[in-house]
Structure 1
Amino acid sequence: MFDRVEHCTPRCSHSTQRDGKCVTHCEEGFFVDEEKQDCESCHPNCRTCGGPRYDDCDSCEDGVTLRTGECLEGRQLNACPEGNFRNSRFLTPLQTCLSHCPSGTFASEKTGKCEECLRGCMNCEDANVCKQCQRRHYLQDGLCVVECQRGFPRGDICQSCAPECGSCKDNPSHCLSCEKHLLLLDHSCVPRCPEGYYANMTECHRCPDYCMECNQDGLCKKCTQYYYLHKDGCVEDCPEGHFAIEQGQECVSCHDDCASCDGPGSDDCEVCSDKKAVRYNGKCLHKCPSNAYHDTNTNECRDCDRSCLTCSGPEPSHCLSCDTKRHKDATGHCVWYTECPPNSYVDQNGDCQQCHGFCDGCSGPGGDRCLSCSETRFLLNSTCLEKCPLGYYLDDEAGHVCKRCHFSCESCVGPHSLKCVTCKSGFLKQGLSCVESCSESHYGDPTTMVCERCDPSCHQCTGPGTNNCLSCREGFVYLRGLGQCLQSCPPGSYKNNLSTTCLKCHPSCKTCSGGGALACRSCYDGFHFMGGICDNPCFVGFFPTSQDPGSDKPKCEACHSSCEGCRGPSMWDCTLCRASRVLSDDGRCLTCCGNETQHDDKPIPWVCCDCKSSREECIKGVNVVISSAGVSYTARLLVTAWVLLTLSLGGGLFLFLSARSRSLRVTAKTKAGGYAKLDTSESNTSQPTSSSFGEYSDKIIRCQDKEDEDEDEDEGIVYMTKDGTVYRKFRYGLLEEDEDELEYDDESYSFI
């Protein structure tokens, strides 16, 4: 059918191939195949044509008539009998009119022809709905498709998936993907992942073994019971150099002095890192203190008996030396120079004296010289107390002795840092211990004062979640602007191999391989990529939006007013800023923080850049100073309201006190010649009490009653006794409203 050329010269430019030659136009009986750039044969019925189909004819051979693109013979021009249709697909003399259209076509009442079904359809009733598809096609919603959409093939028909499935296989509920807002879990779609799984974009993935909860990268955050979190996995026992925190079910690093430990402090060592060191109360020392001996079996320093100054073992008979009041006997015991019976001591004369009642044994008189206490008392230093004070615990093994808690504990039940009940101010609770700073991969919660674990992606952090990292675990890169640790740098940034930090690409680059404008890998729409550079075809202050068809010139639009250069119309699309502004990571041009205004005298935005810290990068801050023009009226209004409120409250209080004072004056009558005792700690006087004045003759102080300034001055006389008590003289009788004058007691006064 086609006059194809099997061996062609290289493809022609501005011409078409014919018999391996390049021609400017195809001969009669051929048409141009634009895709192949070849001259192809017309349909046999056509003399000239524009395509290969029978109804693409432009002219016909002699004796044949052209009608609507078809070349018809005389008898084909006549209409088909009723109930028959013209077969416009096969133009054969014997099958011009048919009672049934062939496969792949349908009888059109409108045109009276056998019209083609949809592509891939073998049997249809009209041009829109197929009833049966061709081989390797499947019927779905009246169409023939090569692959089922949101369904699966069963025979030659597509079966629809369940509503929650985005795609499925073999069964409507056997999902391969899910609709939006749902996650795929074991071929089912769920709104959230169950315990032991984590969501990664569209699917739920199982956390590591024995892990109950993990983050979006699959790093474990919490282990199942009886397992401890170590790095990103769960272990049954913490490795060497770590100790287990039961409450948080995690392994925490020991102090550097410790090869193994049971807590985070330097006094929590079980084995020392330095093989030559000895251990004393959990600390690793070069040698034992003077009041302890070296136990070679355990390589530990143990305390001597209390009677010994130095010793070679734990027993009282192992003393090597004694204090000045004792001497060592033949058995190795340190004994007093003068022996006294129990519960007594030797005085300066060498006589035995009874100890204080609280002491069971003592070194001198008084309750502060005890060596041991009675059954109901507890020894603290050399005093016997009813109970141990805060910061001490009872050591029954040492014999009713109060011993100091670990230095980090406010209260405790034992000497170890793990025995803390509450922590001292400034210390944080980590497990059972109190620490000055949290261990690696932990942060201190300032509200609860408890050490919490960082997100597993962080090596150090300042708070919970993925946005508070200070440094990252191995294998992650740090996105400094957001405080995130990621497995790879996001688009628009590149990895600094020296610091494993993600740095922003140059603003003109969409993606890049390094810093600067010469390291671009791809550009934003409309920009031209030229050897690592993204060139803006528009003038400064404009960005390209599209290119006019038939023209090499781009269509440019103006940038946002805050941008000097940009890649889009928004204030978030800036690539270049004016000298007074700094480009932030989010693409905005921000002003420096402070009491400054823009050229149009408008106040600067709330968000700003801390230019004192850096002008090369924008360290975001907020403006707390607003221009005076916008705040003066509000400030004056607030001050005025506050003054009025204060005056109102003051006036109300004054009226209340005045009324109360008058009510007190019309109370029951008092005895003539009495004195009222004053409360010197307050401004108001107490109720009058009678007293004899003869014994009070220390000082006279005159004061003025603010409420009755016009009254007789003698009413304001007050008297202070030797012990500091102050009295004021009051008037006779009951004050009536119509009384104009009252009498005072005229007794004389004497002074000492």
Structure 2
Amino acid sequence: MNQLTTIYISVAILITKANNLIEVSMIRRNQQEQGDNSQQNKCQPNQIKIDEICQNCHFSCRQCFGLGQNKCTSCNSISNRILWNDQCICRRQYYEDEQQSVCQECHKSCQSCLGSTGNDCLSCYDDYELLNGNCVCKLGYFYDYNNMECRQCHFSCEICNDFETDNCLKCPFDSQRLLIDNKCQCPEGYYEVEGNPICKKCHIKCKTCSGYENCLSCSSEKLLVNNDCVCQPNFFLYKSNIIYTCKPCSNECLTCFGQLGFECLSCVAQSTLSPNNTCSCNLGYFLINGQCQICNSNCRTCAYSSTYCLSCSTNYVVQTNNICFNNQCGCTSSYYMDSNGICQQCASSCSTCNSTSCTECPNKLNFGPSCSTTASLPQYCTSFDINGICAQCQTNFTQNSEKVCQMQSAVICSIWEFLSKVVNRLEVIVKPAIIQDVRFVILNIIYHQEIATPVIKVV
């Protein structure tokens, strides 16, 4: 229908209504002019006088201003009709029974209808929807036969046969709910929000929950602590994208953090947390399988096992096999105990010693690492080995094959050259025999290292 046609129809309706109003006005004026003096000239309430003859109004009208169903001015109050556009039409939930000329009640499910049955509906109430002439309960509603009305299902149900939660027949689409024992329940990993048909997802760390981060249960690798899922001891929560998994901490940590698990928050028993977030076993303990185990009583510190000693308790020494040996008895005189707890003999010149030098000499002549075997001391020697033999000579001296310190050859030549000049000068003023004695003394000084200077008398 175009706009021009709509305008024509609207104008025609207005003209018709105007003519009706004019006609009603003229009739009422005639009635007023004629008066009501004569009972014979008065018509019945449902009649109208036309050409001085009382004629019946349309059966639907109580009073009218002309003949026809659209000429009514009022309706009978008990006829279930209402006045609308000069017509007495059946009120809502009633239909026109043309055979009996009365308004009959529709089926209770209908808001308006064409007949009395439940499949004659034209429109429905809010809780219903029209389906093939029938008013059926909307999705999410059920028909209450006791009260003859549609009632809303529990919010968790899409289709039900009762208001109770355990009478669901189908769950809402995209609600994440599962139909279990006639209940639409939130699955594992989702939680219920009162009044909301859609299940909300729990935080990924929860297995089940009553709120986003209010965990009720956890996966097997986590523990439930104050409604929170935390990793078991020696594990930490590792996040990769949106996935949370528990990964093992470093062996020495009880709890830890960071991406690798090396940064400790707390330590296993018998260990201590350092300021740089590392744990180390206490003295006398060693780490094995993530636990600090006690060392053998002989060990002060140990590793790998309780008997693999790194250091020993008092009166014990570490042997080559890393076992602590009891050192309370000690070694006899002229012996010392090595690092393996074995008694080793001192150098023959020592009365007592340690691993590096003599500690006591038989003739009380104790010179550092060794003892002198004679009253005269080795000259020009600055250090000795464990056997009392010279190990190093003084500057400008060197050892011969017998380990005796001798003056170096360059020094000897220099001294000989100097003394030869002295002797040559002496030959001028002394006898040849005396010169020979002088030569002997000089050689004796050089090769025998005697300190005393001989006195040469000039005859």
TM-score when scaled to structure 2?
A: 0.35
TM-score when scaled to structure 1?
A: 0.24
Structure number with the higher helix fraction is: 2
Q: With CA pairs under 8 Å and 6+ residues apart, which has the higher RCO, 1 or 2?
A: 2
Q: Which has the larger radius of gyration?
A: 2
